Amino acid sequence: MSRRSNEQWLSDLRSDGTARTEALTDLRRILVSGLRRGLLAQVNTSAPEFDSQAEDFAQEALIRILDKLDDFAGRSQFTTWTHKIALSVALTELRRKRWRDSPLDADTHNDATDHTPRFIAAAAPTPESATIQTDMLRHVNKLINEGLTEKQRTVITLSLIQDKSTDEVARQMEMKPNAIYKLLHDARLRLKKLLEETGLTPADVLNVFE
């Protein structure tokens, strides 16, 4: 794995062909390694199943990094900047997985949904916390059902609640992966706006499940 300057990282990731492929491969390895260190205090990174989760976190981070290349100001090492994005993605996903594993009402619960892996499972919530979590889930579910289009509801359910990959969602919805990215992006923005209209942010929702 070759060492690159900030300028080389940006140039390679913006290019086509072999240079971009090699840069993505190298950056993915760097991110996975960094997540193992950065999440040490959060989860059991020595658990066998952590590797596949770290790969998923790194893949999602790569998508965001490529989308934010123009935001890199060069005030730090490029890899330091990407590590922060990857860690943010991982922590958000860990909170979401705990959220997804919380009891849902009949409209959102799906027996086929994966449960939170043992290596990130949190202690059982207190009765008071469980009530708050249930109320929050019902509120979010109401916003999804009443405020999103049918396709937006479907992509949110498959991608964020059932945790299916983009390729799986694309096959199930009979759409191209790029169209799924756009649909999910629009659905997230719409849900964020709906939350804000009720005085909440996505962070407020996730914090309930900390």
Segment 97-139, tens digit of pLDDT:
665 555 444 444 444 344 444 444 444 556 666 777 778 788 8
User: Which domains, ranges and CATH numbers included, belong to the chain?
Assistant: 6-99 (1.10.1740), 104-207 (1.10.10.10)
**Taking a C-beta distance cutoff of 8 angstroms, is the pair 97, 116 a contact?**
yes
- Helical spans, DSSP H, in 120-176: 127-147, 150-156, 166-173
Helix 166-173 to helix 177-197 angle, to the nearest 10 degrees? 100
pLDDT of residue 30: 92
Model pTM score = 0.51
Residue 172 has pLDDT above 90, yes or no: yes
Distance separating alpha carbons of residues 44 and 23, to the nearest angstrom:
29
- CA dist list (Å): 46 to 96, 114, 125: 21, 21, 25
